[in-house]
Structure 1
Amino acid sequence: MTTKAYAALLRGVNVSGHKKVPMAELRTLLTGLGHGDVRTYLQSGNAVFTSAPGDEKVLAAQLEQAIERHFGFGVDVLVRDHAYLKAVADACPFPAASLEGRQLHVMYFSEPVAASHLAFLDAASHLPDEFRLGDRALYLYVPDGLGRSKLAEALMKAAPVKGVVATSRNWNTVTKLVELTRPQPS
């Protein structure tokens, strides 16, 4: 059977004691859904698994339902395959190799977001922080880190695009997920 590697990105888990999802239990849930080679990365809701090639939205919905049943609360999940994760990393408009991981973030979206949705932001007033839209992703460059960024704060306060789930990862996690989902030689 042909399998494909995916990353599951859980939104808003294990932050300040809210929506606790122990990674061992997440691995058990994914294995129970029939996925193989299940691994987690950090405690912030990153899991990698293999599965028969399928629809990422269906895989995400299955995991969301399993989390709801097991933990009793809802969690938004995005599932992305290696090709997408690598394409997002390769398309980074900022000099990632010369930056610290905390200075560069990718906000992954469940659907495309039009530039017009972010037109309210006065980019010049947030310099040196910058952002660029990509394929269902937003690249965020914050030289002083996310916690000090007024641009990040403005993006978080922005009215969400109806029906679009967003979750953010720093550049170290972005590149690690590319590595962990890389196809293994047979």
Structure 2
Amino acid sequence: MTTYIALLRGINVSGKKKVPMAELRNMLTNMGFLNVKTYIQSGNVVFESQEESTAKLATSITKNIQITFGFEVPVLVKTRANLEKIFNDNPYTNAEAIAQKQVYFVLLKNPPELEFVEAFSSEEYVNEEFKITNSCVYLFCKTGYGKAKLNNNLVERKLKVESTTRNHATMVKLLEISS
């Protein structure tokens, strides 16, 4: 049995794509997943499964959300071990920046192509720093994520890879509840 974290993108934002967490937990339990837990309303789910393919899990969850809730939601699935590695590889570890909610993780569904990484890496953004890896774009937004030019949509557009963003505190909590 492997512990996974599913990250749903763009649900329960401004009253759109409403997915009640209790209903999501029920749906996932009915799919055969064990120890299903959710964290906050923005689509963070921890569960256990015997399935070994994160891609198959993501496809299955996406399909079941479409059937259950009537709309498509991008779903990214990581193993707990993979999420822990992404967290530990974060280059932005300044305690003050973390406390001021300036550190973000743009989790990538697939590794980006080298040509897109090279082109994006050469760009600069005022008051913002970033580091691109195969599984995450780490963001340090000195004036906060809400004011940042570097956001999930920009990363997806530049790297041509589906992604979803979580802050440092959410990453810590997901690792904690998936232990």
* TM-score, normalised by the number of residues in structure 1: 0.86
Task: Check if 1:141 corresponds to 2:140.
Answer: yes
Q: Which residue does the alignment assign to 1:130? A: 129
Among 44, 55, 58, the alignment partner of 1:57 is 55
Task: Note the alpha carbon deviations across 1:43-99, whole angstroms, 9 max, x for none.
Answer: 000011111151111111111111000111111111111110000010001125442
Give the secondary-structure state (helix, strand or coil) at the position aligned to 2:24.
Answer: helix
Q: Which residue does the alignment assign to 2:177? A: 180
Q: More displaced, 81-90 or 44-53?
A: 44-53
Q: Which residue does the alignment assign to 2:40? A: 42
Contact 2:105-2:168 within 8 A present in 1 as well: yes
| Equivalent residue letter for 1:16 | S
Inter-CA distance 33–94: structure 2 relative to 1 (3 Å threshold):
same
Q: Which residue does the alignment assign to 1:171? A: 168
State the alpha-carbon separation in 1 of the partners of residues 24 and 159 from structure 2: 27
State the alpha-carbon separation in 1 of the partners of residues 15 and 83 from structure 2: 28
Give the secondary-structure state (helix, strand or coil) at the position aligned to 2:110.
Answer: coil
State the alpha-carbon separation in 2 of the partners of residues 101 and 177 from structure 1: 19
Q: Which residue does the alignment assign to 2:15? A: 17
| Equivalent residue letter for 2:35 | D
Give the secondary-structure state (helix, strand or coil) at the position aligned to 1:105.
Answer: strand
Aligned length: 177
Gaps of 5+ in 1: none
| Equivalent residue letter for 1:84 | N
* TM-score, normalised by the number of residues in structure 2: 0.89
Q: More displaced, 87-96 or 149-158?
A: 149-158
Contact 2:112-2:159 within 8 A present in 1 as well: no
Q: Which residue does the alignment assign to 1:80? A: 78
Give the secondary-structure state (helix, strand or coil) at the position aligned to 2:150.
Answer: helix
Task: Check if 1:109 corresponds to 2:108.
Answer: yes
Inter-CA distance 150–165: structure 2 relative to 1 (3 Å threshold):
closer
Give the secondary-structure state (helix, strand or coil) at the position aligned to 1:150.
Answer: coil
Q: Which residue does the alignment assign to 1:94? A: 92
Contact 2:120-2:158 within 8 A present in 1 as well: no
Give the secondary-structure state (helix, strand or coil) at the position aligned to 1:169.
Answer: strand
Q: Shift in Å at residue 122 of structure 1?
A: 5.5
| Equivalent residue letter for 2:163 | A
Q: Shift in Å at residue 152 of structure 1?
A: 2.9
